[in-house]
Structure 1
């Protein structure tokens, strides 16, 4: 990671505070990039920006089939004692994201709130402020 200039990842969802829900491998890469001061660029479309905040979203409960990671046929004697977790999504905090590149341009992670106002309107964003 020390020789990398930029890390580009894809976002499944961009939350209201600029945090990103993405694939688990992207989270690990973003943490490594943040440790080496490499900027993380997130590619996303405007329709993937959500008005929800991180405390409204539970992503820890969603797991996919663990046999994709570790086939149980090769571990049949240990199958009853083996626990494999294969998360579908991971959370990348807004502090690790440098820039969002959307179909309308590139924006800072602090600018997501402004995009929410443009997308959802002033009244709806004010309702979100009172609920959180």
Structure 2
């Protein structure tokens, strides 16, 4: 029964959208934004996971820039996810880490650099394994 309801709804949407192509384009754009945002969140997590695995002194700015860079390359949804995740992380970290405003500012600079398409290797420390 549920299958028939889904098919009927799909047919209704497709028939209605045939008369309104802008509706379909809007749905496709929203779907792409969501896919980009999910992919961007995965990129951010992968950079975080790599940063924790590498455990390399002075490499955090590189991983910040790389995560934001990878996410933003996906499109507006990826850039949005990178900004939201970066801002939330920095807000949380600045309240518990005790590293101060200067460290937060530097992290946010690396985040913004990556989101703008800047090469993350600008922040890559010497000796960081090529794996990353």
Query: Which range, TM-score by smaller chain?
Result: under 0.3
Greater RCO, 1 or 2 (C-alpha within 8 Å, sep 6+): 1
Larger radius of gyration: 2
Please identify which structure carries the higher strand content: 1
TM-score (norm 1): 0.28
